[in-house]
Chains A and B, each alone.
Chain A
Amino acid sequence: MNRELHAFPGGLNLPTHKELTNARSSLITPLPDLIILPLQQHIGTASEPVVKTGDKVLRGQVVARANGYVSVPVHASTSGRIIDIGDYAVPDSFGLKAPCIVIEPDGDNAWFDVKPTADFSSVDPQKLQDVIREAGIVGLGGAGFPAHVKLKEGTETAVDTLIINGAECEPYISCDDRLIREKPDYIVAGARMIRHAVQARHCVIALEEDMPEAHAALAQLVDDDIELIRLPVRYPQGGERQLIKTLTDKEVPSGGLPIHIGIVMHNVGTAAAAYRAVTRGEPLISRYVTVTGDLPEPRNLQVLLGTPVKHCADQCGYREKEGEAIVLGGPMMGMQVTNMHMPVIKTTNCVLVTPNVNRNPEQPCIRCGQCVDVCPAVLMPQELFRHARSRNYARLREYHLFDCIECGCCSYVCPSNIRLVHYYRKAKREIVQEEKTARGDAAARRRYLARTARLAHEAAEQEQEKMSVSGRETDDKQAFIEAAVARTRAKREKQKNADRSSESE
């Protein structure tokens, strides 16, 4: 079947550098000395620990449970002992620490009691969602959105197309490519399973043209039920909105989700993980990570979640060098980190060692408009930059800051070396924080005013009570006095009468 393709606006043709890693088979990383599992490895609420320091855990055992709907559990990636629950450095673009569960592996790698689900095609779609949620599966493409949420939306709305995203557009990264080549059956079966879960009419697996081996591997396995599409190489082709535009010529509305236009999209890694979770009962405890850049032996690794980045780099002969930078993720969207002891998490797709860091100082924006030309979200990056600098949140909203996918095209082309995306990320975080504070403030104001009103009411009531009590007392007294006076008068009257009568006698 031939599908007409449509180019998305903006974008860049970048040197891909995938040849460094995509020809070598992946290596299963040996056990590290420590496994550090952050409680927040996904978008949504952080998970809640269910283990204590000192507990023994087995591979695949839940160590933190989902906290709320948009949340997933965290599983132990290997068997061992919990040695700490506390704040550790985690992949975070602002270098903040976050709570983690730390496991000291015992080397046995003994599995927890995991149960596969029966043949998925006969299973209720709702049940599949629960299995996928319990397996802790989130989008492995980079954003880490809990997979079950997308599936749930898929069952509630009619889904036209399920897209399995294998368009690995970011330079250097080849982990999806390697995964497809090594485990094509997982992906095709996973795609069929997710299709069953959301009851999609069409199913598409999308790859880029520079992945011929992956295409060949998948082509052997797919039937007429799945369309296998090759896309032109252009960054950011693998972006959710860009890929939808290319495949269907539809645009996801601003602030909307793909499901609003009848589309569900999952990364190939997510499909493979979902397949493992359902057919083998294995939760998400490992992933493919590309370790590349300025290293003696760049290659893809199969890494247990929680493995320190340093340990992964060591497998590729990493030696620390002066002036280099470590980037988690690709050169466009990745974050530079200073601490290599932070762990690989569910969304870590690449460890990039790069000698050429952009150290040129930022210069003033000259309004050349190159960023506008390359923006795939059709935004005006120079205006966003201006308002982000002056913290004009209202204006940032007007210019649709939250439609920015942080692809980094604008920063890449900027002749003034402005790290535009950094400003946007910061502004987004500040706005979210601001809104949260505003909500809290409004609640506090409501409670304060309610209390003030209640106290005033109570005081008024008391006053009233006092008034009426004292009023009753005075009335009584008055009556008492009057009665006494009346009695005395009557007595006197009687006396007078008696006197008069005695006088008259």
Chain B
Amino acid sequence: MSALLTALAFAVAIALLLSRGTGTRPADQDHLTDLIDALLPQTQCGKCGYAGCRPYAAAITRGDADINQCPPGGQHTIRRLALLLGRGVKPLNPAFGKSGPKTVAYIDENLCIGCVKCIRACPVDAIVGAPKQMHTVIAEHCTGCELCIPPCPVDCISMLLVTRAGHRIKLKSSTLPAQASP
């Protein structure tokens, strides 16, 4: 009889323990969101349809979003997410955009009118400037989200390719003056 009781007690204890680990509690969900967020490229571009990387991570946790909606992360991010979540790898959903090399925004300072619209759009505060003053992008902080491009009324922002060293930037479009000429 006592053996039976002990077994029962064990069963109850194990059931309790298991129920703690099912990942349904808010704390577990937050933890999973953190893990997913850590794998996202932190571009904060919103191409996935959410306001930034963390909201997208939260949506994946809830099951609202799929893992193939992040164009800046590309296949690399999808693979890592699949590994974390124990799902199959799938190609990037083209509805959300195409994946490409990392770029940074560049403001043509001769054209900038100082409207502050790009500064409001930048999700990582990488643009400095003030009303009616020239603006500029801090290349080091720019994530290449391209969110500053549509608001610009004079189209003075272009995206430049970042080279492997990361120190310097190369021209993508020909809107820029080349290396300072004498």
Residues of A within 8 A of B (CB): 40, 45-46, 52-55, 85, 96, 98-99, 436, 440-445, 447-452
Contacts and interface: CB of A to CB of B under 8 A. Distances in A.
Interface in B1-57: 37, 41-44, 52-54
A46 B44 contact: no
Contact of B179 (A40, A46, A53, A440): A53
Contacts of B74: none
A99 B164 contact: no
20 contacts: A46-B167, A52-B179, A52-B180, A52-B181, A53-B179, A53-B182, A54-B182, A55-B182, A440-B42, A441-B42, A442-B42, A444-B43, A444-B44, A444-B141, A447-B141, A448-B42, A448-B52, A449-B54, A451-B124, A451-B125
6 pairs of A and B residues whose beta carbons are closest in the complex: A444-B42, A447-B124, A441-B42, A448-B44, A445-B42, A444-B143
A98 B42 CA distance: 28
A450 B37 contact: no
B167 A447 contact: no
B41 A441 contact: yes
Nearest to A429: B164
B71 interface: no
Given A441-B42, A447-B124, A448-B124, A99 B52 contact: no
Nearest to B141: A447
A443 B141 CA distance: 8
Q: Is the interface of B mostly helix, strand, loop or mixed?
A: loop
B165 interface: yes
Interface in B52-73: 52-54
A96 B164 contact: yes
B168 interface: yes
Nearest to A49: B179
Interface in B155-182: 164-168, 179-182
Contacts of A436: 166
Give the interface residue-count category, chain B: 20 to 34
Given A52-B180, A447-B141, A448-B44, A45 B123 contact: no
A445 B180 CA distance: 35
Nearest to B166: A436
Contacts of B134: none
B182 A85 contact: no
B126 interface: yes
B41 A452 contact: no
Nearest to B170: A87
A453 B124 CA distance: 12
Given A448-B124, A449-B54, 9 more contacts: A46-B167, A99-B168, A440-B42, A444-B43, A444-B143, A447-B125, A447-B126, A448-B42, A451-B124
B141 A45 contact: no
B37 A85 contact: no
Given A443-B141, A451-B123, A451-B124, A85 B179 contact: yes
Contacts of B44: 444, 448
Contacts of B37: 445
A55 B42 CA distance: 43
B165 A46 contact: yes
Nearest to A441: B42
B36 to A, nearest CB: 12
A500 B182 CA distance: 103
A96 B54 CA distance: 35
Nearest to A436: B166
Contact of A444 (B124, B164, B181, B182): B124
A445 B53 contact: yes
Nearest to B144: A444
B142 to A, nearest CB: 9
A448 B181 CA distance: 38
| Residue among A46, A55, A98, A447 with the highest chain B CB neighbour number at 10 A | A447
A21 B172 CA distance: 48
Contacts of A55: 182
Nearest to B179: A85
B125 A450 contact: yes
A449 to B, nearest CB: 7
A52 B123 contact: no
Contacts of A40: 165
A431 to B, nearest CB: 15
Contacts of B123: 448, 451
A452 B52 contact: yes
Nearest to B120: A455
A442 B43 CA distance: 11
A449 B54 CA distance: 9
A451 B42 CA distance: 13
